[in-house]
Amino acid sequence: MMAASLLGGAWEQAAFAADAPADPRRIVVIAGKKSHGPVGNGIHDYGWSAKLLKVMLDNSNVRDRVTAEFHLDGWPEDQSSLEKADTILVISDGRDGDLFEETPFLENEARVKFVQQQIDRGCGFATFHFSTFAPDKYATQVLDWIGGYFDWETEGKRQWYSAITTLDTEVEVQAAEHPVARGLTPVKLREEFYYNLRFASDTQGVKPIWRVPALNGRDPDGRVVAWVRERAKKGRGFGTTCGHFYDNWRRAEFRKLILNAMVWTAGAEVPEGGVEARYYNHDEITAALAGISGVTRADVDDRPIRVLMFAGNDAHKWHNWEKTTPAIKSLLERDKRIQVDVTNDIEDLARKPLQDYHVIVQNYVNWHDPTALSAESRSAFVRFLENGGGLILPHFANGAYHFSLPMAEAAEWPEYRKITRRMWNHKGKSGHDAFGRFRVTPTELAHPITAGLKPFDVTDELYFRQEGEEPIEPLIAAHSKVTDADEPLAWTYTYGKGRIFQTLLGHSEQTYNTFEPREMLRRAVAWSAGRKIIPLAGEPDLAVEKIDVPPLGDLLRDGKFGNGFDTRKGGAIAKGKADYRANPLTVECWARLFQKQTYNILVASELKSSSTHWELFTQPTSGQLTLFSPGMVPDHVATGVDIADGQWHYLAYVREPDRVRLFVDGKLVADQKVKFDPRASSDDGLGLGTLVGREIGCVGCLDEVRISKGVRAIGKSPTEPFAADDQTLGLWRFERIDNSRLRDESSLKNEAKLVE
């Protein structure tokens, strides 16, 4: 038995074998890397499915007939355990054109050859949900191995033969005499069903197990969503297109289908009533796996860490929460376990279910706000900490609810001083050095938050003389030019059962240009949640990226064609139009972006609260062009293309009733099937270089923004300025400013007004 080993920051459990009689059948589960959202969001949670299968089989009524093991994050480097497997189940992404190429067992010719060798010796093989996707190139092999696959291509193009739909519907049991169907009964299931699959022509070897009558299949086989394969030579296969929602493991019928299939494809006898195993929650799975020799609980604990971040109020704008909030959210979510929800209403302390969160990040202070925090919110906050919730206090958050804040004496909350231990007193001696660059030195390297961190330079305010009597143990410090002393800048302590991390860094988003403050905050969240700290490395300081940034001058400067619009001083907002949310629609623009530390908003329609809102923006840190629309499923479409490189790029967004496409420099970089749920909508405006609510802007230049009804053919980058025609709903070319307005050259004449 091989213990877990740390490989590239991901835990790989190579062989967790249960004690069993001689010659038990060996089941190996391979879980691919998760690509659909954060771990634990209940969709495509490959790793958790693999772990659950291991624990269920170890505690089932066939535990004396089989052993189970799993591999995380894709195909194992050491393939020796697969050479001994009696069956292999792959739970992963599948090959889907150029968008997803994860399919581990079809990754390359050598991998296909290796799998074929296992098939030739009679090894079982099974696919699960997305891993049923396969290219026609390997149709012969896949049909032989498992009997069917999802066909996404036609003549080499991403033109689907198979189909996808999400339904809450009845599922029928077929081939009731087959061992995999033992104990199965019809069930109503909510699932993302894949259907109209390609099946092997030797139908004697393929039998359907699950069929969904409600699906619009081309023929009866088009409604099959689970099947078995008895190979002509030797060995067995199984496939199911179900498995999108992790919660379906709670259904006894779903568990029995998969467990029966694993036992049968491994060549073991399926009990008369099927394999019996209950559902195990995440804590139970972690505890069960940690009980195996050589494995600790922390090794296998990748449960989500849910964070609720409070942001806002900062009326004086010295601490720009509109920029620091997305920067913090982005850096935290680099740890795939961390999921951050943001609210701008501090009274959500009483309204939101705090018991569902592990950590609160308070990027908030009630400056110039005389309103006291309600008794309900105070009680909820204290109760959260006393029950073990974590708290992160960046920079000026320690000054909230203090009598010395302007207009806030009536809002003082004495208990908050006990929660924060160190507070800014405006009527005392608290102060800071001038905003600028200074050196920070870790003072406590034994603590997991700062272990291994080196001294670093950061652009920030160096706070000093924060007041408080309770003891603290500083983790980092910097030398103040004002006090001529080493001032503590971060520390940890407890309040009730809650762990608290306070840092005085965080005056602006520039704090997070440097790796060490980002890494400390990520570690602090894991520490305050009582979870294993997973250090991240290889993340460069954002400030050292070399981009040719022109000096800030006039709003109009050299553009792609003539003048362009420098959005660093603000954006522009035009009146909203119903036409801007219609389908089909094409949006084009030229953009040159000077930084990727924060979000860059290119073009945005309506307020974010509107379900028909859409925005083209770049992700912080990566500079990746992305589309967001809250009334669209999925609500984000990312391209993986960094456009925040200081160069001009031609960008296009084409929206159709069931599909969106994104283009960079004439090349298709995202093609996503979507569903639109147009509920509440508004005509609040159209933002150029800014959100309509002005929460986030753009650090760059825009030129040639054009919105058109219908689908325009997007090819190579234009060599001439856009022209207005019968399709054009808006055309802003930024050639001149008249009375703080930018001209719209379309027939709508919808001028955009400059905003800061």
The predicted structure's pLDDT at residue 203: 63
CA 65 to chain centre: 39
Cα distance between residue 116 and residue 235, in whole Å: 12
- In degrees and rounded to multiples of 5, residue 22 shows phi and psi of -60, 145
Contact, 92 vs 103, CB < 8 A?
A: yes
Dist. CA 618–CA 593, nearest whole Å: 9
Q: Which band of pLDDT confidence, cut at 50, 70 and 90, is reported for residue 504?
A: very high
Task: Find out whether 487 and 422 touch, Cβ atoms under 8 Å.
Answer: no
For β-strands 148-151 and 198-199, DSSP reports them as: antiparallel
Instruction: Looking at mean pLDDT, say which of 45-49, 72-76, 253-257 comes out highest.
Output: 253-257
Torsion of CA 48, 54, 57, 60, to 10 degrees: -70
Predicted local distance difference test score (pLDDT) of residue 372: 86
User: What's the confidence (pLDDT) of residue 4?
Assistant: 30
Instruction: Give dist(CA 88, CA 598) in Å, integer.
Output: 43
List phi, psi (to 5°) of 739. 50, 45
Is it the case that residue 514 has pLDDT exceeding 50?
yes
What pLDDT is stored for residue 97 in this prediction?
65
Outline which parts of the chain fall under CATH 3.40.50.880: 5-300, 305-542
Residues of the chain with pLDDT > 90, as a percent, come to 59
Contact call for residues 619 and 599 (beta carbons, < 8 A) = yes
pLDDT at 695 over 80: no
In tens, the pLDDT along 279-327 reads: 998 878 888 888 775 666 656 667 789 999 998 875 444 567 778 899 9
What does the pLDDT average to over 458-467? 91
Let me know: does 601 contact 628? Beta carbons within 8 Å. Answer: no
CA distance 266 to 180: 12
Cβ-Cβ contacts under 8 Å for 53 (sequence gap 6 or more) = 27, 29, 68, 70, 89, 258, 259, 262
Higher-pLDDT residue of 21 and 207 is 207
Question: Which comes out higher in pLDDT, residue 584 or 676?
Answer: 584
CATH level 3 topology of 556-755:
Jelly Rolls (2.60.120)
Task: State residue 15's pLDDT score.
Answer: 36
- The alpha carbon of 601 is separated from its chain's Cα centroid by a whole number of angstroms, namely 19
- Is the pLDDT reported for residue 697 higher than 50? yes
CATH 2.60.120.200 positions along the chain are 556-755
Residue 700 or 544, more confident: 700
Mean pLDDT highest for which of 268-277, 312-321, 464-473? Answer: 268-277
Question: Which token pair is 49?
Answer: 């499915």
Strand, helix or coil for residue 523: helix
DSSP helix/strand/coil, 728: strand
In angstroms, the CA 425 to CA 546 distance is: 40
Point out the least confidently predicted range of 402-416, 443-457, 464-478, 626-640. 402-416
Confidence of residue 30 (pLDDT cuts 50, 70, 90): very high
Structure tokens at 4: 């877990």
Our CA dihedral for 489, 495, 499, 503, rounded to 10 degrees, sits at -20
Q: What is the pLDDT of residue 12?
A: 35
In this structure, which amino acid lies at residue 239?
Answer: G
DSSP string, 171-236: EEE--TTSGGGTT---EEEEEEEEES-EE-S-GGGEEEEEE-TTS--SSGGGGEEEEEEE-SSS-E
Provide the H-helix boundaries in 72-183.
80-83, 109-120, 139-146
pLDDT at position 568: 85
Question: What burial class does residue 1 get, using C-beta atoms within 10 Å of its C-beta: 0-12 exposed, 13-18 middle, 19+ buried?
Answer: middle
pTM: 0.54
User: Quick one: which H or E segment has residue 29?
Assistant: strand 25-31
Those residues with Cβ within 8 angstroms of residue 538's Cβ, 6 or more apart along the chain or in another chain: none
What is the pLDDT confidence band of residue 204, given thresholds at 50, 70 and 90? low
Q: Which amino acid is at 335?
A: D
Q: Write down the pLDDT at residue 292.
A: 74
Spatial distance between the Cα atoms of 159 and 517, rounded to a whole number of angstroms: 46
pLDDT, one tens digit per residue, over 209-245 is: 999 999 998 888 999 999 999 998 899 999 999 999 9
Convert 407-455 into a string of H (helix), E (strand) and C (coil): CCHHHCCHHHHHHHCCECCCCCCCEECCCEEEEEEECCCCCCCCCCCCC
- Was domain 5-300 assigned CATH 3.40.1350.10? no
> What does the pLDDT look like over 575-600, one tens digit per residue?
999 999 889 999 999 999 988 766 78
What's the pLDDT band for 13 if we cut at 50, 70, 90? very low
Query: So what's the pLDDT on residue 39?
Result: 67
Compute the mean pLDDT over every residue in the chain, rounded to the nearest whole number.
Answer: 87
Question: Average pLDDT in the 100-104 region?
Answer: 71
Average pLDDT for 379-407: 90
Q: Tell me, what's the pLDDT at 101?
A: 61
Pairing of β 456-460 and β 436-442: antiparallel
Answer yes or no: is pLDDT of 357 > 60.
Answer: yes
CB 737 within 8 A of CB 555: yes
| Residue type at 370 in one-letter notation | P
Q: What is the pLDDT of residue 38?
A: 63
What class, spelled out in words, does domain 305-542 have in CATH?
A: alpha beta
Going by pLDDT thresholds of 50, 70 and 90, the confidence category of residue 55 is very high
pLDDT for position 103 = 83
Is the pLDDT assigned to residue 52 strictly greater than 70?
A: yes
The pLDDT of residue 591 = 94
Apex 40 CA angle, 34 and 45, nearest 5: 40
Report residue 20's pLDDT band, with 50, 70 and 90 as the boundaries.
very low
pLDDT band at 146 (very low <50, low <70, confident <90, very high): very high
